[in-house]
């Protein structure tokens, strides 16, 4: 019973340490009760130890996953259930691996393995087909951005490492105290732990107050049309959407406006790529931009491309009918008076909504199963490179980041390495209603600003649209579920941060260490406890 209570405690501590409602200091002790429960099981005479560790871990992680991401159910109950239950299972499996290693080696080596294994798991969640990095530990400081200005050197894996180091030190201190009952050792360890928590915060505060945002000023507008994606978005013609966007733009535009940003797939009535120039809504936009020649319009749009040549069929192409396939794109486009249309196709897709993971295995079992969020039930086609949008102004090069892509740190650095001087996030967070979902998504954007030291303009269909500076501060925003336009100034930046250059190097080191420890310890006999 005590072990079960410890597992419950871990789950609730981790959950209540999460943004945008929690206090991240709790994350520094979140794993300690679960580690104590595992230690009690490992040193007991219980028969089914691995099963007990898995069950307790699953309980803790299911609580954490459910409290922090239950808002997914407002989009799709099955998708939410799958994400919460499977992610909790994967986390619990990590604890079983740790349990197996801990029986074969010293406490320090096994805890090092657990820390590195967890970060390897977080790295996996950034790249595999079931990608779900929402609960990667480094994201937990997104609301307390003044604590993590050093993310420009480490990315979010620096935060994950920080959390695990403190949890491990606290766990070891508790075990030592329970063994030796030494108050003196408790005090000395407490000083070390406090310094490891406070030290990085003080360094970050020093960076925050000394960092100067320098560069060319850009006048931008973020549009928030507030269209209900369940009942309106896919039923309103593109011409009517164009009229609405231009009406909103008119409320804020001036001769000095450089960039207007509209949300993800705001033009939701699928456009055939080769027919874009002939579309009436496109002509409306062109006429408006001719009246405002300094302005650039970056907007989301849905494209479709039919394929009759079998040699052009891709893995992500969708079957239409005999002899005809099609590619379905969630795209961004940039329009102005000087250049041809620039396009980018979303590359980090939402599992089950925009892509079918491991379709070679899953398709024969369940067919073309996709979750319906109001649009077409089709897999999206992606592109490999991170395209950036250029303008007549050499200092205005925008990264077209579409929705879920903004959760991926190293992925976003690809735009910056390709020359982006500002980040433009376009999204539609209306699927989740008035929950923590859209708030967390906005909050995570702060992390991208700090990692790359790029200002952000964020246009969200129903909100929260915002302007974020390179220090992670939200300088202005539009409230959720309101219609309007947000005007402000961003500063372009051409400098490259260390993290932009090095990427997730901490995770790569962790993968190597975890694999090395596993190989040298897994095949040893269990130690006598």
- Which pLDDT score is estimated for 527? 58
Main-chain dihedrals φ then ψ at residue 380, nearest 5 degrees: -85, 150
* pLDDT per residue as tens digits for the range 411-428: 999 999 999 999 999 999
The band of 63, judged by pLDDT with boundaries at 50, 70 and 90, is very high
- Portion of the chain with pLDDT greater than 70, in percent: 92
Same domain for 259 and 273? yes
- Which pLDDT score is estimated for 376? 47
355 found inside a domain: no
319 found inside a domain: no
Same domain for 405 and 257? yes
Q: Give me the domain span that covers residue 66.
A: 2-211+504-521
Tokens linked to 167: 């949890």
The two counts, helices (H) then strands (E), for the chain are 15, 13
The DSSP H or E segment spanning 95 is: helix 77-102
The predicted model gives 248-274 an average pLDDT of: 93
- Which pLDDT score is estimated for 232? 66
Same domain for 156 and 248? no
Domain count, the chain: 2
Same domain for 261 and 287? yes
204 found inside a domain: yes
Same domain for 148 and 40? yes
User: Tokens 């979140």 label which residue?
Assistant: 30
Same domain for 289 and 245? yes
Q: Half-sphere exposure (CA, 13 Å, Cβ side) for 499?
A: 27
Q: How far from the centroid of its chain's Cα atoms is residue 19's Cα? A: 13
* pLDDT per residue as tens digits for the range 268-314: 888 888 889 889 999 999 999 999 999 999 999 998 888 877 777 77
136 found inside a domain: yes
The predicted model gives 142-160 an average pLDDT of: 98
481: CB partners within 8 A, 6+ apart: 226, 434, 462, 463
The band of 3, judged by pLDDT with boundaries at 50, 70 and 90, is very high
- Which pLDDT score is estimated for 324? 83
The band of 136, judged by pLDDT with boundaries at 50, 70 and 90, is very high
177 found inside a domain: yes
Helix (H, G, I), strand (E, B) or coil at 278: helix
372 found inside a domain: no
Tokens linked to 226: 């507030």
- Which pLDDT score is estimated for 352? 66
421 found inside a domain: yes
Same domain for 85 and 145? yes
- Which pLDDT score is estimated for 372? 45
Asked if residue 236 has pLDDT above 70, the reply is yes
* pLDDT per residue as tens digits for the range 370-400: 444 444 456 787 888 899 999 998 899 999 9
Paired strand residues for 491:
217
- Which pLDDT score is estimated for 528? 47
CA-CA distance, 347 to 383, in Å (whole number)?
6
434: domain CATH number is 3.60.110.10
Same domain for 161 and 257? no
Window from 195-204, 353-362, 434-443, 467-476 with minimum mean pLDDT: 353-362
User: Tokens 């959720």 label which residue?
Assistant: 480
Tell me the DSSP string of 382-395: --SS---B--SSTT
* pLDDT per residue as tens digits for the range 29-53: 999 999 999 999 999 888 899 999 9
- Which pLDDT score is estimated for 64? 98
- Which pLDDT score is estimated for 321? 76
More confident call, 339 vs 402: 402
371 found inside a domain: no
Strands 456-460 and 422-427: parallel
Asked if residue 442 has pLDDT above 70, the reply is yes
- Which pLDDT score is estimated for 378? 66
> How deeply is 337 buried, as exposed, middle or buried, from its count of CB atoms within 10 A (0-12, 13-18, 19+)?
middle
Query: Across the chain, what does the average pLDDT equal?
Result: 90
Enter the DSSP assignment of 355. B
Same domain for 182 and 140? yes
Same domain for 397 and 508? no
Same domain for 68 and 183? yes
Same domain for 251 and 174? no
CA-CA distance, 225 to 482, in Å (whole number)?
8
The band of 364, judged by pLDDT with boundaries at 50, 70 and 90, is low
* pLDDT per residue as tens digits for the range 172-189: 999 988 888 777 768 888
């Amino acid at each position: 019973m005590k072990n079960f209570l410890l597992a419950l405690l871990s789950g609730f501590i981790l959950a209540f340490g999460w943004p945008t409602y929690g206090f991240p200091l709790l994350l520094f002790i979140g794993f300690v009760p679960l580690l104590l429960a595992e230690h009690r099981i490992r040193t007991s005479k219980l028969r089914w130890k691995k099963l007990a560790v898995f069950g307790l871990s699953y309980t803790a992680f299911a609580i954490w996953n459910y409290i922090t991401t239950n808002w997914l159910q407002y989009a799709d109950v099955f998708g939410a259930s799958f994400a919460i239950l499977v992610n909790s299972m994967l986390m619990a499996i990590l604890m079983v691996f740790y349990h197996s290693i801990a029986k074969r080696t010293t406490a320090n080596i096994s805890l090092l393995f657990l820390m590195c294994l967890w970060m390897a798991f977080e790295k996996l969640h950034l790249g595999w087909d079931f990608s779900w990095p929402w609960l990667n530990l480094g994201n937990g400081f997104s609301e307390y951005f003044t604590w993590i200005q050093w993310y420009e050197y480490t990315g979010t894996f620096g935060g994950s490492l920080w959390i695990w180091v403190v949890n491990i030190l606290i766990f070891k201190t508790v075990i030592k105290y329970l063994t030796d009952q030494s108050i003196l050792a408790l005090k000395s360890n407490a000083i070390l732990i406090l310094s490891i928590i406070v030290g990085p915060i003080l360094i970050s505060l020093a960076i925050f107050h000394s960092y100067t945002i320098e560069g060319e000023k850009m006048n931008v507008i973020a549009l928030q049309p507030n269209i209900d994606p369940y009942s309106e978005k896919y039923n309103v013609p593109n011409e009517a959407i164009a009229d609405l966007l231009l009406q909103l733009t008119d409320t804020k535009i001036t001769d000095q406006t450089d960039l207007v940003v509209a949300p993800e797939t705001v033009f939701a009535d699928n456009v055939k790529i080769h027919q874009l120039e002939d579309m009436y809504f496109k002509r409306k936009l062109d006429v408006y931009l001719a009246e405002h020649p300094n302005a650039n319009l970056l907007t989301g749009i849905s494209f479709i491309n039919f394929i009759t040549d079998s040699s052009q069929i891709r893995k992500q192409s969708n079957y239409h009918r005999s002899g005809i396939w099609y590619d379905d794109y969630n795209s961004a486009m940039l329009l102005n008076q000087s250049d041809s249309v620039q396009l980018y196709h979303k590359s980090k897709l939402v599992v089950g909504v925009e892509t079918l993971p491991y379709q070679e295995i899953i398709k024969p079992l369940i067919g073309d199963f996709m979750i319906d969020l109001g649009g077409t039930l089709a897999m999206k086609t992606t592109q490999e490179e991170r395209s950036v949008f250029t303008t007549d102004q050499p200092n205005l090069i925008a990264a077209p980041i579409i929705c879920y892509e903004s959760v991926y740190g190293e992925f976003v650095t690809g735009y910056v390495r390709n020359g982006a001087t500002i980040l433009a996030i376009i999204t539609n967070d209306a699927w989740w209603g008035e929950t923590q979902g859209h708030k967390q998504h906005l909050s995570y954007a702060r992390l991208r600003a700090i990692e790359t030291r790029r200002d952000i303009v964020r246009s969200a269909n129903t909100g929260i649209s915002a302007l974020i500076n390179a220090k992670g501060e939200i300088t202005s925003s539009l409230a959720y579920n309101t219609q309007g336009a947000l005007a402000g100034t961003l500063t372009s930046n051409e400098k490259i941060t260390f993290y932009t250059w090095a990427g997730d190097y901490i995770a790569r080191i962790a993968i190597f260490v975890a694999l090395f420890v596993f190989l040298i310890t897994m095949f040893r006999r269990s130690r006598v406890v």
